[in-house]
Homo-oligomer: A and B are copies of this chain.
Amino acid sequence: SKTYKIAVLAGDGIGPEVTKESVKILKVIGETFQYKFQFDYGSVGAEAIYQTGNPLPDETLALCKNSDAVLFGAIGDPAFDNNPDAKVRPEQGLLKLRKELGLFANIRPIKTYASLIKKSPLKKEIVDGTDIQIYRELISGIYFGEKFTDENGEYAYDLCKYSREEIIGITHLAFQDAQKRKKKLTLIDKANVLDTSRLWRKIVKEIAVEYPDVALDFMFVDNAAMQMILNPKQFDVILTENMFGDIISDEASVIGGSIGLLPSASIGEDNGLFEPIHGSYPQAKGKGIANPIASILSAAMLLDYLELDQAADKLRKSVEHAIESKFVTIDLNAEQHYTTSEVGDFIADYI
């Protein structure tokens, strides 16, 4: 049977601690379901800069290109955040990796857990039952357009550009997902101001004809930023460009009450990268308090991607069991809580 090669890029801050739990659990999954996983480790982010001067060393990139999937921890380091003049930055490693692997679709599920609703800053009746799937375009737009700053630092620009090819792939993925869900797709844009947004509308409308069972609507990004809080349950699948997706998906992450629960998948033609949406959270590093669930649910999305559906299902059920049993880290229960690895062990044991 096939050996699945998984590149593990644990990165900075709490990345290594939470990723360790996911690897532990994937190993148990492998034994239980008789899958062969091979784990190969690479460095990325600030950690890689300190070691090699490069946030994405060549060996790491080669390792990822050779893998079936990438399990990613987190990047970011206060030494760079507080120094905007730094020429080499941890984030560049992640951005370059996304581009090199062609990971055009970033998928972020936003869900609530009944037992955690009280942690949400929003009222229960507003958020209870929210179930959104966000599709963010990840390797084009203003992130990757031409950039310029003049010598004297008096003038700068960033170009936001899109072509048809950069829009169609993710649009099909989003429609296909909508067909399996509540059959509603909302394109978030700023078509009353931007040419790129009007291009998105035009192409998404054309593609919609192939998915007549899915209801398509459009929402301006400013209105969407309001609607996400006023009535998140109106959304099913959201499709949007890179920068709007960055903002709207982080905003949506507050709904469930803990960012420590939220996974993401970044999908390309022949690779996928799976990472928690939380950052490197350097203040928590090494304390054993980081919530491993976002990383573990990212591993579940990795199993989906490898079409190991049974295992993905089992893993999600085990996570739900931990949450319902209140076997959780301090962010979810201040009174009684467990360490990062205790939570990982609990979930592994249940599998």
A residues engaging B (CB < 8 A)?
Answer: 81, 84, 89, 91, 95, 121-123, 126, 142-143, 145, 147-149, 153-164, 190-196, 198-199, 201-202, 218, 221-223, 225-226, 228-230, 243-244, 246-251, 253-254, 259
Contact B155 A164, beta carbon cutoff 8 Å: yes
**Cβ contacts under 8 Å, A191 to chain B:** 84
A251 B251 Cβ-Cβ under 8 A: yes
What are 18 residue pairs bridging A and B, where the CB atoms are less than 8 Å apart in the complex? A84-B201, A84-B202, A89-B192, A122-B123, A147-B195, A149-B198, A149-B199, A153-B199, A154-B164, A156-B161, A158-B196, A159-B159, A160-B160, A190-B246, A221-B246, A222-B247, A225-B248, A244-B247
Chain B residues within an 8 Å CB radius of A201: 84
Please tell me if the beta carbons of B202 and A153 are within 8 angstroms of each other in the complex: yes
Question: Are the C-beta atoms of A251 and B223 separated by less than 8 Å?
Answer: no
Say whether A95 contacts B157, CB under 8 Å: no
Give the docked Cα–Cα distance between A226 and B251 (Å). Answer: 5
Q: In the complex, what residues of B have CB within 8 A of residue A81's CB?
A: 192
Q: Quick check: B163 and A154 within 8 Å, CB to CB?
A: yes
Of all chain B residues, which has the CB nearest A89? B192
Contacts of A190 in B (CB 8 A): 243, 246
Task: State whether A161 touches B153 (Cβ < 8 A).
Answer: no
Bound complex: CA of A225 vs CA of B254, how far in Å?
9
Copies of this chain assembled into the complex: 2
The complex places the Cα of A130 from the Cα of B205 at a distance, in Å, of 41
- Please determine whether A199 and B155 come into contact, CB atoms closer than 8 angstroms: yes
Cα A252 to Cα B63 in complex, Å, equals 43
Kindly list chain B residues whose C-beta atoms are within 8 Å of the C-beta of A259: 226
Q: A157: which of B89, B145, B153, B254 is its contact (CB, 8 Å)? A: B145
| Contact partner, A194, options B158, B251, B254, Cβ 8 Å | B158
What's the minimum C-beta distance from A190 to chain B, rounded to whole angstroms?
A: 7
Q: Within 8 Å CB of A228, what residues of B?
A: 251
Per the bound structure, the CA–CA distance linking A264 and B187 in Å amounts to: 28
Q: Check if A226 sits within 8 Å of B254, measured CB to CB.
A: yes
Instruction: Verify A149–B195 contact, CB threshold 8 A.
Output: yes
Q: B residues within 8 A CB of A89?
A: 192
Taken together as a complex, chains A and B put the C-alpha atoms of A126 and B257 apart, in Å, by 13
Contact status A155-B162, CB under 8 Å:
yes
Taking a contact as CB atoms under 8 Å apart, the answer to whether B202 and A229 are in contact is: no
CA distance A145 to B143 in the complex (A): 16
A226 surroundings in chain B (CB, below 8 A): 250-251, 253-254, 259
Give A192 to B162 CA distance when docked, in angstroms.
21
Q: How far is the CA of A118 from the CA of B229 in the complex (A)?
A: 15
